[in-house]
Chain A
């Protein structure tokens, strides 16, 4: 199959009936946005998984660089003062 005949890749996000956020469910190929959301319905909600769908072209997603893992994600480690549990409630403070 020649390059021009390959349908673009789309990422699918499904919001389940729990009423939470849309969650990434997987990806699929489709010729355009309208067909992508229909294909998503057929592939990712056929067992009653969702009440809402988002699709976005995979190429439109900007992701963090896996090679920059250290500079991106190492810094917060050990900084436990950034967690609420680090702090003790002072005596006499109500409603905490």
Chain B
């Protein structure tokens, strides 16, 4: 649907107000609303929104691989819901960023090259076994929960509104990951070993999440300085791992420059799969 066809006073079923007798999607900020408002961000704010959007987009693309492959039907739906939440966050951030360059969310998702993606290395890491996916969800959702909580105070109203919508969803992702981390950590010797292994695989990508950039200095009061989230994140993660009988692994940190467009070998394959249809059939709709 073209954004100019949307009436902001209506929900996506065309109802003015949620009816008392039928199920409605309820009222919430949608990417279409951001596009319709058309508030153009500055170049720097757009670059910042692009980073947050790329993190969610690539993690969502990674997670979507679980659909139909989860250990149980119920978990399949849970992972699918989380994947779609992340895609929703990505759509909002990319829609907003794109307004600065007259680009749509689809232009940014499907027609940028690998070196133009600004996502963190942790989100592009292999899904691995279920424990790896759960640990990655724990590490990233805890980070995003702290980030969006702080971003709600941003001087930029659109970023603040996207954060307010997203924070409740990443809170649930965090809870889901915590529940499984505790169960698998305290489960069998095999499940605990797999969780220790997952922590060792993913821990090298932690420092990159909390690395400040000059962009954050330029956007004082608008962007959240990642380093300010580290202490709370360390404390939360340590608490969960302690409850799960696990420990922070003693592994060195990897050199990551995801924010500068330098990615690991995984990224090309992720983008190839994500972008092939849009590039082969430009303008395709369904």
Contacts and interface: CB of A to CB of B under 8 A. Distances in A.
Instruction: Say whether A associates with B.
Output: yes
Interface of A: 7, 17-18, 28-31, 34-35, 38-39, 42-43, 46-49
Pairs of residues from A and B, 6 with the lowest C-beta to C-beta distance, nearest first: A39-B74, A42-B78, A48-B26, A42-B77, A42-B81, A47-B23
A38 B78 CA distance: 9
Given A35-B179, A38-B179, A30 B21 contact: no
Interface string B1-36: 000000000000000001011011110000000000
A46 B76 CA distance: 14
Contacts of B18: 17
Contacts of A38: 78, 175-176, 179
A39 to B, nearest CB: 4
B74 A30 contact: yes
A30 B183 CA distance: 12
B39 interface: no
B73 interface: yes
B248 to A, nearest CB: 25
Contacts of A17: 18, 20
B22 to A, nearest CB: 10
Contacts of B190: none
Contacts of B75: 39
B72 interface: yes
Contacts of A28: 74
B53 to A, nearest CB: 23
Nearest to B79: A42
B24 A42 contact: no
B23 A42 contact: no
A18 B81 CA distance: 25
- The listed residue with most B CB atoms (<10 A of its CB), out of A18, A30, A42, A46, is A42
